[in-house]
Amino acid sequence: MTAYPETLMNALRAEPGLKLSDRATKAPAWWPSDAPQDKREAAERMKELGTLLSDLQERLFASALQEDSKDSVLLILQGMDTSGKGGVVRHVMGMLDPQGVQHFAFKTPSAQERAHDFLWRVEKQLPAAGLIGVFDRSHYEDVLIHRVQKLSTEQQVEARYPKIVDFEARLVAQKIHPLKVMLHISRDEQYARLSERLERPDKFWKYAVSDVEDRALWEQYQLAYEIAIERTNTADAPWYVIPADQKWRARLCVAELLLATLQEINPQWPAAKFDVAAEKLRLEATR
Amino acid sequence: MTAYPETLMNALRAEPGLKLSDRATKAPAWWPSDAPQDKREAAERMKELGTLLSDLQERLFASALQEDSKDSVLLILQGMDTSGKGGVVRHVMGMLDPQGVQHFAFKTPSAQERAHDFLWRVEKQLPAAGLIGVFDRSHYEDVLIHRVQKLSTEQQVEARYPKIVDFEARLVAQKIHPLKVMLHISRDEQYARLSERLERPDKFWKYAVSDVEDRALWEQYQLAYEIAIERTNTADAPWYVIPADQKWRARLCVAELLLATLQEINPQWPAAKFDVAAEKLRLEATR
């Protein structure tokens, strides 16, 4: 058994009064000495995590067949452009059975979605019992880009934080376990990643001219994140701030958080809903 | 380059007047000599296939950003209980980025679904451009279980075959490439797999008492499959019958078919929708 995951989780947890500038985007000083220290060591641990997660996911899926056990998980991924949200989906969620994963990427809302409350479209994408949902962006966009780009009034934005807290409390009450993750990259790392997208024709499609515009508002976005995290960082739905300049480290952190979440749920194989001995006889008769 | 995939695809293709009893469920006589011959060799090839599929999938996803290129793929999985549909999703689709896969398992229709035409709920689950959709069961249930269990009248069932042909022709016209797969197992193999589900507490949840009831109607189901395949086996939406008694062989076949489908589409990285040189300057200014 490795001892570091608990240390890791505690360190990743967003503290009251969080200042993102105080948070390392790579090689944090507190990084546990018994955790993987480089890409190669992380790859070893990721293999173990793949096996552990896969087993727990199948149990979670199966456990939902019981009337009294209806847990699901909701991984909420937030972060600046290029922070690696897609890579987490590909490399962490990609280790799981697609039958048990429900992925949704929130884009610019449609006219129909804008005609509803901001949580309306989120509600529709909640994972059913037994599933692990993944949101690439989420209802947090309505207090992040909306705050920075002034897509809503300050009053409207202010009103959303308590709505989010209530919404997430309801999720917890209905056993949808939220795992809220901010992939925290440095401004320099974003520059390097955007540059790469402009160098490689197979990366052009990942680049949007709005990326540079958002980048010019870096400080405002960091502040919007700090406020959002502070105002919605509850005991039941806490935020985790992940050092994300190194992809291997960010993916490892998310995989460990997901494992801890599933271990906490501790899903069990459901009991047979039929008489096993009788079914064996029935089956034998059809041999 | 391996030469066998083409031979394999041709051999898997359902021929007019298909008799399932003439089709091997394992180690077919025609199995290409340059194809993997056992589990170990198949595992090697699956690694290659994972890389090839992953690259093509990302290209497919990216290519959908172009106005003139809107392809997607729809893998339709059918087969008797325990034939390995879930395993194909887990082990073949599981090799792909979850962002590009849209999985849906059709269950007993809801009251709302039953109040609509049988294709209504299917339409809603079609993959968007750039995605690989996977149907675990499908509209074919409406001519399989409905025929055997007489859930619809013979007249109703009869009317559905041409509707399915028209529906799938429309999919092809809108560049949703169907890949229709029947996982063909033997009655003995089903017995073994159902027995295992009754032996292992971690498999109980996969067992349903209706499985034995359906098993008692084995011959009727085989006939229903033959009729469904015969009546809907068009040039644009052909059926493939996969020997599925050995899981490694079935998964390899489906992965090869999927690869061939993606290679046929041959998706390309989209051109930049912006002035690359100008964007480099804009980005540089934010360094």
pLDDT for the residue A11:
97
Q: Half-sphere exposure of B253 toward its Cβ, with a 13 Å CA cutoff? A: 35
Inform me whether the C-beta atom of residue A33 falls under 8 Å from chain B C-beta atoms: no
Query: Which residue of chain A has the CA closest to B211?
Result: A283
Q: How close B259 gets to chain A, by Cα (Å)?
A: 18
Residue B87: pLDDT over 70:
yes
**Are A191 and B62 within 8 A, CB to CB?**
no
Across-strand partners of A182?
Answer: A78, A241
**Are A205 and B94 within 8 A, CB to CB?**
no
Residue B69: pLDDT over 80:
no
Residue A206: pLDDT over 90:
yes
**Are B286 and A99 within 8 A, CB to CB?**
no
The pair of structure tokens assigned to A116 is 């509803």
pLDDT, one tens digit per residue, over A258-269 is: 999 999 999 999
Which residues does A229 contact at the CB level (< 8 Å), separation at least 6? A14, A18, A182, A239, A241
pLDDT for the residue B226:
98
Inform me whether the C-beta atom of residue B98 falls under 8 Å from chain A C-beta atoms: yes
pLDDT for the residue B183:
98
Among the partner-chain residues B93, B194, B205, the one whose CB lies closest to the CB of A270 is B205
3-state class (DSSP) for residue A240: strand
Tell me which chain B residues have a C-beta less than 8 angstroms from the C-beta of A283. 191, 194-195, 198, 212, 215
Per DSSP, B129 falls in state T
What is the average pLDDT across B11-29? 97
CA B146 to chain centroid, in Å, comes to 21
Using pLDDT thresholds of 50, 70 and 90, give the confidence band for residue B66: confident
Residue B1: pLDDT over 60:
no
User: Whole-angstrom Cα distance, residue B170 to residue B173?
Assistant: 5
Per DSSP, A13 falls in state B
Per DSSP, B235 falls in state S
**Are B204 and A65 within 8 A, CB to CB?**
no
CA B110 to chain centroid, in Å, comes to 23
pLDDT for the residue A66:
87
Among the partner-chain residues A101, A215, A273, the one whose CB lies closest to the CB of B98 is A101
Q: Between A and B, how many CB-CB pairs are < 8 A?
A: 112
N residues, chain B: 287
pLDDT for the residue A110:
96
**Are A269 and B202 within 8 A, CB to CB?**
yes
Inform me whether the C-beta atom of residue A30 falls under 8 Å from chain B C-beta atoms: no
Inform me whether the C-beta atom of residue A105 falls under 8 Å from chain B C-beta atoms: yes
Q: How close B89 gets to chain A, by Cα (Å)?
A: 7
pLDDT, one tens digit per residue, over A98-143 is: 999 999 999 999 999 999 999 999 999 999 999 999 999 999 999 9
Tell me which chain A residues have a C-beta less than 8 angstroms from the C-beta of B273. 204
Residue B45: pLDDT over 90:
yes
Inform me whether the C-beta atom of residue A278 falls under 8 Å from chain B C-beta atoms: no
Across-strand partners of A48?
Answer: none
pLDDT for the residue A2:
59
Residue B259: pLDDT over 90:
yes
Using pLDDT thresholds of 50, 70 and 90, give the confidence band for residue B248: very high
What is the average pLDDT across A185-192? 98
Tell me which chain A residues have a C-beta less than 8 angstroms from the C-beta of B88. none
**Are A202 and B269 within 8 A, CB to CB?**
yes
Inform me whether the C-beta atom of residue B128 falls under 8 Å from chain A C-beta atoms: no
Q: B residues 174-193 near A, CB within 8 Å?
A: 191
**Are B283 and A204 within 8 A, CB to CB?**
no
Residue B2: pLDDT over 70:
no
φ/ψ (deg, to 5) at A48: -60, -45
Which residues does B141 contact at the CB level (< 8 Å), separation at least 6? B106
Inform me whether the C-beta atom of residue B219 falls under 8 Å from chain A C-beta atoms: no
Average pLDDT, chain B: 96
3-state class (DSSP) for residue A212: helix
Which residues does B242 contact at the CB level (< 8 Å), separation at least 6? B12, B181, B182, B183, B184, B249, B250, B253, B254
User: Whole-angstrom Cα distance, residue B119 to residue B77?
Assistant: 16
ipTM above 0.85, yes or no: yes
B84: left (phi over 0), alpha (psi -120 to 50) or beta: left
φ/ψ (deg, to 5) at B236: -85, -25
Inform me whether the C-beta atom of residue A275 falls under 8 Å from chain B C-beta atoms: no
**Are B280 and A62 within 8 A, CB to CB?**
no
**Are A103 and B105 within 8 A, CB to CB?**
no
pLDDT for the residue A3:
82
Across-strand partners of A221?
Answer: none
**Are A279 and B136 within 8 A, CB to CB?**
no
Inform me whether the C-beta atom of residue A277 falls under 8 Å from chain B C-beta atoms: no
Among the partner-chain residues A89, A98, A216, the one whose CB lies closest to the CB of B286 is A216
**Are B98 and A86 within 8 A, CB to CB?**
no
* Interhelix angle A4-12/A247-265, nearest 10 degrees: 100
pLDDT, one tens digit per residue, over A15-38 is: 999 999 999 999 999 999 999 999
Torsion angle, alpha carbons of B186, B187, B188, B193, to 10: 90
Query: What predicted TM-score, i.e. pTM, was given to this entire model?
Result: 0.96
Tell me which chain A residues have a C-beta less than 8 angstroms from the C-beta of B195. 280, 283
Tell me which chain B residues have a C-beta less than 8 angstroms from the C-beta of A209. 274, 279, 282
**Are B198 and A94 within 8 A, CB to CB?**
no
Query: Which residue of chain B has the CA closest to A280?
Result: B198
**Are A98 and B134 within 8 A, CB to CB?**
yes
The pair of structure tokens assigned to A49 is 């995590």
pLDDT for the residue B68:
79
Inform me whether the C-beta atom of residue A90 falls under 8 Å from chain B C-beta atoms: yes
Tell me which chain A residues have a C-beta less than 8 angstroms from the C-beta of B204. 269-273, 276
User: Whole-angstrom Cα distance, residue B80 to residue B213?
Assistant: 12
Asked whether the beta carbons of A4 and A34 are under 8 A apart, the reply is yes
pLDDT, one tens digit per residue, over B94-146 is: 999 999 999 999 999 999 999 999 999 999 999 999 999 999 999 999 999 99
